[in-house]
Amino acid sequence: MIINISHLIKGNNDKIDIKTQMYHLLPESKDDPIEVGGILYVEDNVLKVDLQVKVQVHLVCSRCIEEFICPLNLHLQESYNLVEDQGILQNETIDLTELLRENILLNLPIKPLCTENCNGLCAECGTNLNILSCKCKEEQVDPRLSVLKNLLNGDE
């Protein structure tokens, strides 16, 4: 997302309003739009970027490995010193693509969960316990009863 900031640099006490949609900034956003809104303005030779970002990311649950949609709402602020960053001054533009990408990535959950109390997969048979139940747990014998079970087996 490249923005022309020439009239901000020229010292007009102005701001640039941003309201746009971006697509395919990162694989997790798939075909969903990334809504970006906010303002850019210059204060004492510093370019200030103040943005709200709204995106739905498609993640894989770390417990049940099902894909799910996670809405993210971010507020990001960044400053660029125009005196030190001559590149911005020369081109009179700023590219916010990397800033957006990095901030979305930083805010992705490390251990994504489809729901707070996802039941995950059965460690024995791999059944998704959110959808189905399996008999693995029932077959696990209480250690206090295993003596009895051994006795019974011994009788066979």
> Applying CB under 5 A, which residues contact Zn ion?
61, 63-64, 114, 118, 122, 124-125, 127, 134, 136
What contacts 24+ positions apart, CB below 8 Å, involve 25-28? 25/97, 25/100, 25/101, 25/104, 26/57, 26/101, 26/104, 26/105, 28/57, 28/58, 28/59, 28/104, 28/108
In whole angstroms, how close is the CB of 55 to Zn ion at the nearest point?
20
Residue (100 or 114) nearer to Zn ion, CB: 114
In whole angstroms, how close is the CB of 151 to Zn ion at the nearest point?
27
Residue (107 or 130) nearer to Zn ion, CB: 130
In whole angstroms, how close is the CB of 101 to Zn ion at the nearest point?
26
Among candidate residues 30, 45, 39, 109, the one with its CA nearest the CA of residue 77:
39
Q: Could you give the CA distance from residue 99 to residue 94 in angstroms, rounded to a whole number? A: 11
Residue (67 or 95) nearer to Zn ion, CB: 67
Residue (47 or 63) nearer to Zn ion, CB: 63
Kind of pairing, strands 93-95 and 2-4? antiparallel
In whole angstroms, how close is the CB of 62 to Zn ion at the nearest point?
8
